[in-house]
Amino acid sequence: MQSPRTVAPNISWARLRPHIVGWAFISPWLVSFSFLMVYPFIASFVLSFTRYQLIGEAQFIGFENIQRMLFEDERVADSLRVTFTYVLLTVPAGTAISVLVAILLNQAVRGIPFFRTSFYMPSVIGGVGLALLWTTILAKNGPVNAALGLVGIEGPNWLFETAWALPSLALKALATAGAAMLIILAALQGVPQHLYEAVELDGGGEWAKFWHVTLPQISPAIFYNVIVTTIGVMQSFVEAFIMTNGGPGTATLFYGLYLYRQAFEFYRMGYASALAWMMFLIILALTIINFRVARYWVYYEGEE
């Protein structure tokens, strides 16, 4: 009886080489992605079921952190309320402002490069520096109140009054909508002229041009901004950390700031990990909702 013939795997150096070269090229990214993203991602998931206070062993405590987060810790509800309010204050208004400014900056007037640069400039300044600058601007005796004083209005103590603190941070966010504006501006410049001419032939005016041509054409860029801004605003931290430290009371206690405090001020890494995962799930849900809703208002050229 003849034994079955063993078939040697058909692997040759020539066939392997492109694979090896390919892996070698992406290995710097792969290694950093694995160790700096995947590993912490998994570790934080595991830690969220533990009590871990930086030293000693992490103790497995099952769903205790999640139970505390959802049912016992009222600061979680406070911080979510603050964060969602901030999203509502900044994302719709910020989008509207960036569209409006982009349209203005798309006009053929003298000195337009100067205006474009001016509106974009605040986006270039780093977060901490900008936050410090706005702290000065909104101080009780700062320039905003000085200007209000000229017309007989006594300005509030913007950052230290419960009613004004969060709107003040939102004001700062709106004044720095330059990055979104730039993307919209690029989209505006890509709108084909013949579509406007078609509207003119149909007897449409400026409003018709904007509503039936401009808006649909730039809607993918608006959608992109809404997604990115929502995610960014949900993760807001620097403004509150630098300008108000979450106060007065919990008026500006963003979820990200509360998470930071649990981790790096109270050293409750397990609980902070659970909070981080909840934030991830909330952002994921918001993004999915945004995508579902997008089909009703975002226009893509290739779609029916």
Partner 1 sequence: MTSKSSRRSFLKVSGSVVAGAAVAGCVAPVAPTTMDSAGPTSERVALRFLNKWGSGVRRELMNGFLDTWAEENPEIGIIFEPVADFDRRMPILVAAGEWGDIMLFFDLQLSAFHEVAADLTPYFEASGTPFPGKEGSELIRIPDHVGYEPGKVKAVPFQLNIVMTGINKDLFREAGVPMPWEHDHNGDKWWDWHDYREAACAINDLGEDIIGSNFSVGNIEQDGLVNWSVANGGQLIDVENKKGSWNTPEFIEGQQFAVDMICQDGCMLNVDDYQGLGQALGIYPWAAGVQGIASRGSGYWVSRSEADLTQVAWVRSPNTGQSAGLGSMHFHIVTTQSQHPAEAFEFITYLANFENQKNIALSGTAEPVNAGVWQDADYQATWGGPEAVEAYLDALDNFIFTPQLPGVLEWFGEIKILWGDVLRCGVSVEEQVVIVDQKTDEILAAHS
Residue 161 is a binding residue for partner 1 (CB under 8 A): yes
Q: Would you say 265 or 301 has its CB closer to partner 1?
A: 265
184 close to 147: Cβ distance less than 8 angstroms:
no
How far, CA to CA in Å, does 246 sit from each of 137, 169, 179, 243?
Answer: 19, 11, 26, 8
The pair of structure tokens assigned to 236 is 């807001």
Binders of partner 1 among 76-135, rule CB under 8 A? Answer: none
Kindly tell me which of 220 and 248 has the beta carbon lying closer to partner 1. 248
Q: Does 160 participate in binding partner 1 (rule CB under 8 A)?
A: yes
Pick the binder of partner 1 from 2, 3, 5, 11 (CB under 8 A): 11
* Polymer length in residues for the chain: 304
- Classify residue 233 as exposed, middle or buried by CB count within 10 Å of its CB (0-12, 13-18, 19+): buried
Triad 40, 43, 44: Cα angle to 5°: 85
Using the rule CB under 8 A, give the single segment among 136-144, 169-177, 273-281, 289-297 that binds partner 1: 136-144
Q: Assess 141 for contact with partner 1 (CB under 8 A).
A: yes
What's the CA gap between 255 and 262, in Å, rounded? 11
Q: Compute φ and ψ for 53, nearest 5 degrees.
A: -115, 45
C-alpha to C-alpha distance for 172 and 191, rounded to whole angstroms: 31
| Residue from the set 4, 56, 62, 302 that interacts with partner 1 by CB under 8 A | 56
- The tokens for 127 are 């977060």
Which of residues 71, 162, 297, 300 is near partner 1 by CB under 8 A?
162
- Closest approach, Cβ 264 to partner 1, in A, equals 6
Q: Residue 52 — φ and ψ, nearest 5°?
A: -140, 120
75 binds partner 1 (CB under 8 A): yes
Q: What is the largest CA-CA distance in the chain?
A: 108
With binding defined as CB under 8 A, does residue 157 bind partner 1? Answer: yes
At 289, list the tokens: 């909702």
Query: What's the min distance (Å) between Cβ of 293 and partner 1?
Result: 36
**Binding range to partner 1, per CB under 8 A, among 98-106, 216-224, 262-270, 286-294:** 262-270
* Single-letter amino acid code for the residue at 285: A
Q: What's the half-sphere exposure (Cβ side, CA atoms, 13 Å) at 233?
A: 31
- Collapsing DSSP to helix, strand or coil, 251 comes out as coil
- Our CB check for partner 1 shows the closer of 13 and 29 to be 13
- Tell me if 45 contacts partner 1 by CB under 8 A: no
- Reading the block at residue 207, the tokens are 């409003």
**Binding segment (CB under 8 A) for partner 1, from list 7-15, 85-93, 204-212, 221-229:** 7-15
Comparing CB distances to partner 1, the nearer of 8 and 108 is 8
Q: What's the rounded Cα separation, in Å, for the pair 214 and 190?
A: 10
The stretch near partner 1 (CB under 8 A) out of 8-16, 22-30, 190-198, 227-235 is 8-16
Binding flag, residue 8, partner 1 (CB under 8 A): yes
Rg (C-alpha) for the chain, rounded Å, is 26
* 50 vs 290: CA distance, rounded Å: 33
Residues that bind partner 1 (rule: CB under 8 A) add up to a total of 27
Q: Taking CB under 8 A as the rule, does residue 21 contact partner 1?
A: no
Q: Which of 167, 204, 248, 286 is in the footprint of partner 1 by CB under 8 A?
A: 248
Q: Interface residues with partner 1 (CB under 8 A)?
A: 8, 11, 13, 53-56, 72, 75, 139-141, 157, 159-162, 247-250, 261, 264-268
